[in-house]
Amino acid sequence: MTDMTAPADSLPLVRFEAITKHFGGTVALAGVTFEVRHGETLGLLGSNGAGKSTLIKILSGMQPQTGGDILIEGVPQTLDSPVDARDCGIVTVHQNIDDGVVFGMTVAENLVLDNLSVAGGNPWMPYGRVRRQAAAILEELDFDLPLDVPVEQLSASGRQEVSIARALVKKPKLLILDEPTSTLSARESERLFERVAAMQARGIAILYVSHRMSDIQRLCHRAVVLRNGQVVSNHDAPLDARAITVSILGEIALAPAFESRTGRETVLSGEGLRVSRHGPAFDVSFRRGEIVGLTGLVGAGKTELLEQFYGARPLVSGKLELLGQPFEPRDQPDALAHGIAMVPEERAAQSIFPGEQLTTHASIGRLDRFSTAGIMQRSEEVAFARKVISDFHVRCPGHEAPIEALSGGNQQKLLVGRWLADEREVMILDEPFRGIDIGARSVIAKALRAYSENTAVIVCSSDPEEVIEVADRVLVMRDGEIVCDIASSEISAEQLADIMSAAPPSQAHPTTMETNSVH
Amino acid sequence: QEGVPATISASATDEVPAKFAEKNVRIAVVRQLNTGDVYQNWIAGIESEADRLGIKLDVYNADGENAKQALFLQQAVATKPDAIIVGWGFVDSLAPGLEAAKAANIPVITFDVGAQPSDDFVTIDQGDKPMMAGILEKLKEDLGGGDIKGDVIYVYVPGYQALDRRDTVWREFIAENPGLNLVAQIGVVNSNTAAQTADQARAAMTANPDVVAIVAPYDEFAKGASLAVGELGRQSKTKVYGMDISTADIAVMVGENSPWVVTATTDMVNVGAVILRTTAAKIAGQLEGNTLSITPAVITQAELRDAKVQNVEELRKAFSALTTPEVSRAPWMDAVE
Amino acid sequence: MSTDIQSSPAERATPYSKDAITHFIYRYGLLVVLALMIVVFSIAHPFFGTFANAMFILQASAIVAVVGLGCTISMTVGGFDLAVGATMSLVVMVAAGAMVIYGFSGPVAILLGLAAGLLAGLLNAMLIVYARIPDLVATLAAQFLVSGTTLLAVNGQSISEGMSLGTTSATGTFAPIFKWLGSGYVFGVHSSVIVAGLVFLAVFALLNLTKWGRIFYAIGGNPVAAAAVGIPVRRYRIIAYLLSGLLSAVAGLLLVARSNRGDVSVGDAYLLQAVSAALVGYAVLGANRANAFGTLIGAVFVATLINGLTMFNFPYYAQTFVQGLLLGVALLMSYTLGPKSKR
Amino acid sequence: MSTDIQSSPAERATPYSKDAITHFIYRYGLLVVLALMIVVFSIAHPFFGTFANAMFILQASAIVAVVGLGCTISMTVGGFDLAVGATMSLVVMVAAGAMVIYGFSGPVAILLGLAAGLLAGLLNAMLIVYARIPDLVATLAAQFLVSGTTLLAVNGQSISEGMSLGTTSATGTFAPIFKWLGSGYVFGVHSSVIVAGLVFLAVFALLNLTKWGRIFYAIGGNPVAAAAVGIPVRRYRIIAYLLSGLLSAVAGLLLVARSNRGDVSVGDAYLLQAVSAALVGYAVLGANRANAFGTLIGAVFVATLINGLTMFNFPYYAQTFVQGLLLGVALLMSYTLGPKSKR
Ligand SMILES: Nc1ncnc2c1ncn2[C@@H]1O[C@H](COP(=O)(O)OP(=O)(O)OP(=O)(O)O)[C@@H](O)[C@H]1O
Ligand SMILES: Nc1ncnc2c1ncn2[C@@H]1O[C@H](COP(=O)(O)OP(=O)(O)OP(=O)(O)O)[C@@H](O)[C@H]1O
Ligand SMILES: [Mg+2]
Ligand SMILES: [Mg+2]
């Protein structure tokens, strides 16, 4: 663990004074007061919708507060724009990764975006110069990214790396990281942690938002917990995971330990499957009445495999059988018609209809049930939306609110919850716990257990802990191959992590996973 | 049905008709085309004459759309004016409105609508056929008369009434003169006709270096053709036979080394005035007959140069044939004040 | 500096602000301007406010409204149909040619016209959905192809009763149903207004009341997400362009019925008018997206203005300016005075 | 397969690897069609391949290219300028009027013309950036306003040397510089081609070689991200529309120099042509976004085709079809044979 003694300084770097934020009738922040000191790493925690992202948007100049003051080194500041924040030494890597990169431009161009906004200087910027500057940035930060690839072709974590690199190169006094590891694998998280440590060593303060207790414990000198838009507790190192969890949730209502099941008849099986044309072939099968956890590092090929089941990607090789019948989905509608559904991993890009109501988001996949002869039956639709909202504790201003009014985690709860209303043969969830707090995770896990009674459920996550917590059986994917198939009761998260990364004994794996998890 | 040439039946001693004396006359003008000098001059002729006679005008502009003009005509009928002037357009489209006007007993005067003469309305046109014949005669003369020979380019776009009428004369002409070799037919009509005609003409002339004449029976065509000839430096070889005239056209025709050697035209301001007077006479019940063709003038480049005219106003003064103040004039029209 | 990023879509989409008047103007800006226009014109000119004139206004907007509703449908799936004008021209020529040259009956001519419209829509759809050409570019190419086909088929000539066909003349005539479409009335309402009204009701119901409308808007909002919830995105995009083609065909039939002749590029002028109506419609009732009611209002707005200005003998060259000015004011009311997306 | 994010995306990012021919066609589809066209025409007709004819083709594309480059700039910031045609008309009238009616000198007329173009661009920018009206809707309103202003200012009349001004005649004449712009040559290259070439080089350099160009594309790609890194998004969007107005003005000046007169709606036809050029340009070199080189090729493509077809005496009514067909083929090559991951 990192050195836990924060450098002391008389005036705090940032002080929030009774910050409030209202969205129409919704009170997102109800008077938040705390401070970030020079050079410390402060964890900001709270359940979904507690107000973390909102506070960060205010501090980074993306949104104005409704009331209260922000004091930077003792001086009240109006942060009207990201530039103002930057001028005060504050830079942010936001939760929604795609808000930070420009699609259609290469990685190099994305890396030098900030240089572009600097007034003055040499306006001459042929691509060669862009590339040199970008290479210098990567060199300086010791990042490794392909320069000439359009940024949209990077995986989510690659795009996040771009954002982080851009943030670091500004030499901030305060770096804000909003759920940075939610898309990273253990190994990549490790790389991030090393960077954080390096920054700590240079005296950069960090405001670190996360639902992952292990991250917080490992990195943070202090932690602040938000609940319902208010600070409910302050914690100093050594951080007590249990106390923090209680503080976050109000009480602990975690999923009870469950009996590992073995499932019944095989619903979906595949022989000779591959994730890429030249990759290794493997077989898989999924049974009714069990939850299979699919884990592996980011980029191991999990999504590529699952998308083949769902018709979102053509079958690379081999054959699939559904209920004993040969099966090859043409496209997603075809897969759905055969009883296979999938919740995709990238929320903003793959699930959100901008500006549309929660009701629309809830009902869009099953409009047939809310229409007679094509005519929508509004009341039934609303009833369904309300049910999902209450079943999954979605915090929202109402079912007619636009989806953007929800916090990231609450969006996720709605978008996962809506799928669990119909019975299917196979239900695939790709990274369903992304950005979801511990409480909500257990709500969803419980729902999934009930749902899996009559359905084969596949839960994909690059976090072995999440998988262990919810799955009956675990598959580990490595470099496009299934390398491990085991009952979850017979393996621990640490062991899974080792299999995932398959650190050869000679090259010692840098991490021993911190496992100060709550359960 | 044969058309009966329109004449005025009023005598010098007739009083100013009561309606006109009371300045209680309202005429609707429904025109298909409105953007461009020709149409601007046409309406100006109508307006100034209407002013003089104390007539109120309602002008409907259809922006070149037949359906819109058809609707406007019906709308004009519904407002019950004393008469309706229809400028350009097609009888096919205008039929329902014309019938409605007939049913409502509103006299209709059409200009360049291409209608067969009928008792239901008065047809006026600007003599497209004589105009075309006039410039072709000059072409024949320039080529030495008799069995003329040579490569020619013809500019034409079907679907425009005036152009279609001119085209019938052209087709007869080319059939009668087998020595003429039609190497290319080009044409485009849009809001930038001249420049695009020039592009086409240039390509056609480049492909056919021996062209002696471009027959361009519309001033935008003629301007484009002249531009192309100038750009290729072929002025000594290739002549342009154009039609219509505006101030800008005059500048092109009298310009140094201009290939545009002849034009045939009426003065649209005069045409407008004649139409208005004819309409007024019709309202006064003093118009006999149902068809009127306004005689065009054929004007050569040399004549223009000699007269040193610069714009249409000066042209009007120099070529009295363009102005026909006596056509459709009733004596009382001078007495209105 | 403050930038647009401060307006989260959420804030924009919830105009339930305190200030009721601002909110009213935001939602009703265009309707208010339209109503004011009607009141002022009616007071100033006795004929303006008559039933007959109201019918003329509706008649003048009928064709634009029908094409505009077609554009609206393609816009809901996030597309844009530049080929509607060319399609109208094609349908005009097909229907006129069917009757005048080939002597087909009215119903056959109508069916052929609708089929031509659907074919043009299909061409669009194929280029976009299967050839994966971006909408604007694809419909641009389709525009050339459809126009070109029309021109080729008739050698660039117009079609009218008794036209010459080489040695003979065409003997066919416009069928009675077209005469009715062109100048028939039901209870004093012009047939084209009735057709446009029915089209409006159908499109309004489709977009606002049915699941298909939901699906269209969902695809327009995020096609990837739509596919992820199992919507057959391609099929619906094809349908949208087919409907756009079909409505262009209906508009073409109304047009040919009114003009009783076929000119090769007669529909071209309607592209801009239809797109204008649909875009103006964005602002109606604070929808901020293509919608059926807005498009109807957009079409009626322009027709009313031109009707009024003509009645007051505004010279044609002043009408454009007034049109721009009123449009500007209406848009300012809707977008600028709308819920502040800034502090 | 490595789990390092560096290697795997690269694998998918390079569609070049397996099928070099497909890739070639994808990038060069439009250029290949253009080259084929030139070869075929040159073989078939001796005059086509001459320097003189090449100049004519360039001359025919010069004006479209200049306006198209303006459109390209507004497209890079994610906008769309429907007002370019109206702006050209305005500039034509301003420049012609300045010389003919007010007797100003050529340079003054040019300055006034450019100023008029900038003003039109500013109007666009204000409606979009400050009044927060969506681009398409705003530029539509601007189009009406600009056209209306032009029409009003001259009462719908054309401007030409010696025109009558009530009682007198205009005495001003077109200045020598305009005569030169209209028909001057430098080393056998027409002045308008030179101007268009310079404009192209400037826009190409701006978009591809300067930080401003990267900022434009960044704003078009993701305005939120651009603002987040402190790019003054509004300012750059204003600049983009100003440049679009400025280039429309340059095109207008070329146009008035060519025709030596001013007609009120002479620029309108250029909107569609310019947008076409810019959209066709999307496909060039696999850019799949608005880009200067593509727009130039788009303009030249159409001009070459029309030049060739005219030379072969293709009837005008067949030209549109061929245009659509070739465009379709080129687009199919670029988009359909291109990397499948695009959509
Ligand atoms: N749209 C895309 N364009 C380019 N590369 C992609 C794309 N999607 C995935 N990849 C790459 O393909 C590889 C396999 O991706 P896949 O998403 O299947 O992995 P995964 O195991 O699900 O990891 P993740 O946790 O990132 O989803 C990764 O290296 C990823 O970067
Ligand atoms: N644009 C908005 N309009 C209305 N309400 C909003 C808006 N943005 C956020 N909220 C509300 O503000 C509250 C705080 O949201 P915030 O995004 O800050 O939560 P969070 O702590 O980041 O949650 P998560 O862990 O799920 O990301 C939530 O109740 C949310 O519904
Ligand atoms: Mg959050
Ligand atoms: Mg994945």
Evaluated on CA atoms A408, A410, A411, A415, the torsion sign reads positive
Q: pLDDT value at position D155?
A: 83
- Asked whether the predicted pLDDT for residue A9 surpasses 70, the reply is no
pLDDT value of position A247? 86
**Are A425 and A338 in contact, with CB atoms under 8 Å apart?**
yes
Which helix (H) or strand (E) is A367 found in, with range?
Answer: none
A472's CB contacts (< 8 A; 6+ apart) are A260, A261, A262, A263, A290, A291, A292, A487, A488
How much is the pLDDT for C5?
30
In this prediction, residue A512 has a pLDDT band, given cuts at 50, 70 and 90, of very low
Q: Is the per-residue pLDDT at A508 higher than 70? A: no
Q: How far is the C-alpha of D159 from the C-alpha of D113, rounded, in Å?
A: 15
Q: What is the pLDDT of residues D182-203, one digit of tens each?
A: 888 888 899 999 999 999 999 9
- Which of A53, A58, A403 most suits a substitution to test ligand 2, by most atoms within 8 Å of the C-beta? A53
Q: Which residues of D touch A104 (CB under 8 A)?
A: 217, 220-221, 288-289
Same domain, A239 and A269: no
Q: Show which of residues 194-253 on chain C sit within 8 Å of chain A, judged by CB atoms.
A: 209-212, 214-215, 217-218, 221-222, 224-232
**Ligand 2 atom, smallest distance to A226 CA:** 21
Residues spanned by the domain of A344: 265-501
A155 CA closest ligand 1 atom index: 31
pLDDT band at B277 (very low <50, low <70, confident <90, very high): very high
Q: What is the pLDDT of residues A48-87, one digit of tens each?
A: 889 999 999 999 888 899 999 999 998 999 988 888 888 8
Query: Can you give the pLDDT at residue C35?
Result: 92
The verdict on a CB contact (< 8 Å) between D233 and C4 is yes
Which residues of chain B have a CB within 8 Å of the CB of C269?
63-65
User: Which chains contact A through at least 3 pairs of Cβ atoms less than 8 Å apart?
Assistant: C, D
Does residue A130 register a pLDDT over 70?
A: yes
Examine the pLDDT at A208 and tell me if it is beyond 70: yes
pLDDT exceeds cutoff 70 at D63: yes
What is the pLDDT averaged over residues D208-233? 90
Residue B2: per-residue pLDDT? 66
Mean pLDDT along residues A372-401: 92
Tell me which chain C residues have a C-beta less than 8 angstroms from the C-beta of D335.
131-134, 137
Query: Tell me, what CATH number does A496's domain have?
Result: 3.40.50.300
Q: Contact C106/C175 with Cβ under 8 angstroms? A: yes
pTM, rounded to two decimals: 0.86
Q: Rounded to whole angstroms, how far apart are CA atoms D89 and D252? A: 7
Q: Are residues A339 and A395 in the same domain?
A: yes
Asked if D148 reaches chain B (Cβ–Cβ under 8 Å), the answer is: no
A436 domain-assigned: yes
User: Which residue is it, tokens 């900038």?
Assistant: D118
**CA A487/CA A491 separation, integer angstroms:** 7
Q: What is the model's pLDDT at position B1?
A: 55
Burial class from Cβ neighbours inside 10 Å (0-12, 13-18, 19+) for residue C167 reads: exposed
Which of A251, A286, A318 is the C-terminal boundary of a domain? A251
| C61 vs C274: CA distance, rounded Å | 10
Mutation to test the B interface, candidates D51, D93, D161, D265, most B Cβ within 10 Å: D161
Whether D222 sits inside 8 A of A99 (CB atoms) is: yes
Whether A191 and A332 share a structural domain: no
Compute, in angstroms, the gap from residue A101 CA to the centroid of ligand 3. Answer: 18
Tokens of C182: 């062109």
By DSSP bridging, strand D168-169 and strand A41-46 are: unpaired
pLDDT recorded at residue D242: 97
ipTM of the prediction: 0.84
Q: Which has more confidence, D63 or D166?
A: D63
What was the pLDDT predicted at B326?
A: 87
**E strand or H helix at A145, and its extent?**
none
Task: Give Cα A374 to chain centroid, integer Å.
Answer: 37
A25 or B200, which is more confident: B200
Q: Under CATH, which architecture does the D24-155+171-337 domain have? A: Orthogonal Bundle (1.10)
Q: Is residue A519 part of a domain?
A: no
- By the 10 Å C-beta count (0-12 exposed, 13-18 middle, 19+ buried), C196 is classed as buried
Instruction: Give the closest of B57, B63, B158 to C157, CB-based.
Output: B158
φ/ψ (deg, to 5) at C20:
-65, -35
CA distance C123 to C129: 10
Say how far apart CA A35 and CA A33 lie, in whole Å.
7
Tell the residue nearest (CA) to atom 4 of ligand 2: A405
Q: Does the beta carbon of D6 lie under 8 angstroms from any beta carbon of chain A?
A: yes
Q: Which two tokens stand for residue C56?
A: 């003329």
The closest of D193, D309, D190, D40 to B200, measured between CA atoms, is D309
pLDDT for the residue numbered B52: 92
Spatial strand order of the sheet with A282-287 comes to A282-287, A266-273, A319-322, A325-327
Write down the pLDDT at residue D13.
Answer: 37
C15 at interface of A, judged by CB pairs closer than 8 A: no
Radius of gyration of chain C (CA): 21
Give yes or no for a contact between B74 and B100, defined as CB atoms under 8 angstroms apart: yes
Residue partners of B325: CB distance under 8 A and separation at least 6: B273
Say which residue, A162 or D2, is predicted with more confidence.
Answer: A162
Q: How far apart are CA C277 and CA C282, in angstroms?
A: 9
B158 CA: distance to closest CA in chain C (Å): 6
- Identify which of C145, C280, C336 has the shortest CB distance to residue D321: C145
Predicted confidence band of residue A278 (pLDDT cuts 50, 70, 90): confident
Using DSSP bridges, classify how beta strands D185-186 and D189-190 pair: parallel, antiparallel or unpaired.
Answer: antiparallel
With beta carbons less than 8 A apart as the criterion, state whether A23 and A51 touch: no
What's the number of domains chain A is made of? 2
Residue that wins the pLDDT comparison between A280 and A498? A280
Give mean pLDDT, residues D89-98.
Answer: 95
Q: Is residue A63 included in any domain, yes or no?
A: yes
Nearest alpha-carbon partner for D101 in D255, D259, D261? D261
Compare all CA atoms of chain D with the CA of B208 and give the residue at the minimum distance. Answer: D311
| A114·D230 Cβ contact <8 A | yes
Amino acid, single-letter form, for residue A157: S
> Which of A252-266, A268-282, B218-232 is least confident?
A252-266
Confidence of residue A293 (pLDDT cuts 50, 70, 90): very high
Q: Average the pLDDT over A317-325 and give the result.
A: 93
Q: Whose CA is nearest to atom 6 of ligand 2?
A: A405
The dihedrals phi and psi of B55, each to the nearest 5 degrees, come to: -100, 140
pLDDT of residue B175: 93
Do A116 and A237 fall into the same domain?
Answer: yes
Tell me the average confidence (pLDDT) per consecutive run of 10 residues in chain C, 343 residues long.
34 46 74 91 90 92 96 94 94 95 94 97 94 86 92 85 81 90 88 96 96 95 93 95 98 94 87 89 83 95 91 84 85 70 34
Cβ contact, residue pair B194, D259, below 8 Å: yes
Q: Which residues of C touch D136 (CB under 8 A)?
A: 279
As given in the structure block, the two tokens for residue B88 are 């350009």
Residue predicted with more confidence, B263 or C6: B263
Ligand 2 atom nearest to CA at A21: 12
DSSP state of D99: H
Summarize the confidence of residues A421-437 as an average pLDDT.
89
- List chain D residues with CB under 8 Å of B157: 316
What is the pLDDT of chain A when averaged over all its residues?
Answer: 86
